[in-house]
Amino acid sequence: MSQAVFHFPKGFLWGTATASHQVEGNNTNNNWWAWEQRPGRILRGDKSGLACDWWGGRWREDLNRAADSGQNAHRLSIEWSRVQPTPDRWDEAAIDRYREIARGLTERGLLPLVTLHHFTDPLWVVEQGSWENPNIVNLFANYVRKTVEALKGYVTYWVTINEPNALAAYAYALGVFPPGKRDLGLALNVMVNLARAHAAAYQTIHKLQPEARVSIALNVRPFLATKSWSPLDRLAAGLANGAFNDLFPRALTSGEMRVSGWRRSIPEAKNTLDYLGLNYYTRESIAFVPQASQAYVRLSIPPGLETSPNDMIANDPDGFSEVLNWARAFKLPILITENGIEDAEDGLRPRYLIEHLHRLWRAVNENYPIKGYFHWTLVDNFEWERGWTQRFGLWELDVASQARRKRPSADLYAEICRENGISSEMVEKYAPGLVEKIFPG
């Protein structure tokens, strides 16, 4: 077989993504730790516990693995409850620890992409109403100011809020994240407060660091009508796409939130994206079902696709292409801030990774302004309400012993990062069934 390589542009960012509560361990002062203590909230009763012991120092060895495998960037998050444990106190030791990690990234040749809010709130913020309280905007801006002042010597790329659409939906409409409420109107009001908080953070960051590049990381999950011939299924898909995928980024470009007759003006949020961060995992089918317990719809994985062991994610590169095409319309640089699949046995992950990166290469080759890719995730971590039942890591984690074991897909990703591309030799080695599909002829 003749050899061929699909190369990405020089300077393309290759990294992995992590989040504080999922890897640090013993984040006892936030809403998620409290949520884990409540029976029935986490699958199997799992708890984050020590997580990956990053706060204990094992971030060093994990980031060594990232750097040694050819990665040149890493996305991580800051834990608000560590930086500001009470309303009137900053923990300078914790801030120094994050400064050390940021410096450690740059010393390893990894560009830091720092997320300022990744699902967790300090308990004192919860006591004040969290994202239901409009004053969250000022509280968040103060925390952002303190954190950016401390880290701006090492960090230029920022994500203000991870998956604001998912946070509003899962915590305030579906009730699977804390505080566990199920109120669609409340979820929309929370979206407004999230947009205002992002806007305040955006302005704060640029005052402190004019050269900063600031965005959100948006969970983009296209919804397909289960029965394409059904007007009700098509209506459900249209409403879901509008509310979940379109609402937030449109607000940050136009200054207005609008969906199905509901409208809010947020002028301060207009043009507050320097790039667009995208988290993509899968598409979903949606059907209108009057008997369904949640919003009269039922979600499922589109038929005919390979799925992850827990049937949560499909290997659906067509959906990835759809998302990239959707994102291109915003006319902003694009970063893939998360993409991956839960797969403890690592049987599907190599195919998922190759097929999605091939679609990414095709988009780049068609002049889509895509600047980097962050795989979710570096090492198995605590996956929120699903606990330890989902394993996304390139490296396997034994939770009890904290031992790491390299999965084959870690070697695949390392070869991609070092080559800055996908070669036919890699595909033949890690996913031979894809050779004719990726390199026909």
What does the pLDDT look like over 137-175, one tens digit per residue? Answer: 999 999 999 999 999 999 999 999 999 999 999 999 999
Q: What is the CATH number of domain 5-222+239-282+309-438?
A: 3.20.20.80
> What is the tens place of the pLDDT at every residue in 379-402?
999 999 999 999 999 999 999 999
pLDDT of residue 291: 73
Q: How confident is the model at residue 49 (pLDDT cuts 50, 70, 90)?
A: very high
2: confidence class by pLDDT, cuts 50, 70, 90: low
pLDDT on residue 373: 99
Per-residue pLDDT averaged across 315-320, rounded?
A: 98
pLDDT digits over 337-369, tens only? 999 999 999 999 999 999 999 999 999 999 999
Q: Delimit the domains of the chain by residue range.
A: 5-222+239-282+309-438
Q: What is the pLDDT of residue 213?
A: 98
pTM for the model stands at 0.98
Report the first-to-last Cα separation within the chain, whole angstroms: 9
The per-residue pLDDT for 294 is: 66
Q: Is the pLDDT of residue 1 over 60?
A: no
Task: Check if the beta carbon of residue 84 is closer than 8 Å to that of residue 143.
Answer: yes
Query: Per residue in 212-223, pLDDT tens?
Result: 999 999 999 999
Contacts 24+ apart (CB under 8 A), 97-105: 97/55, 98/147, 98/150, 98/151, 99/150, 99/151, 99/154, 101/59, 101/76, 102/151, 102/154, 102/155, 103/154, 104/59, 104/60, 104/63, 105/63, 105/74, 105/76, 105/154
C-alpha 130, offset from chain centre: 21
Average pLDDT, the chain: 97
Q: What pLDDT, in 10s, does the model give residues 275-311?
A: 999 999 999 999 998 876 666 789 999 999 999 999 9
**Cα 410–chain centre separation:** 19
| pLDDT band with cut points at 50, 70 and 90 for residue 184 | very high
d(CA 241, CA 221): 8
- Residue 297, pLDDT score: 87
Encode pLDDT of 56-73 as tens digits: 999 999 999 999 999 999
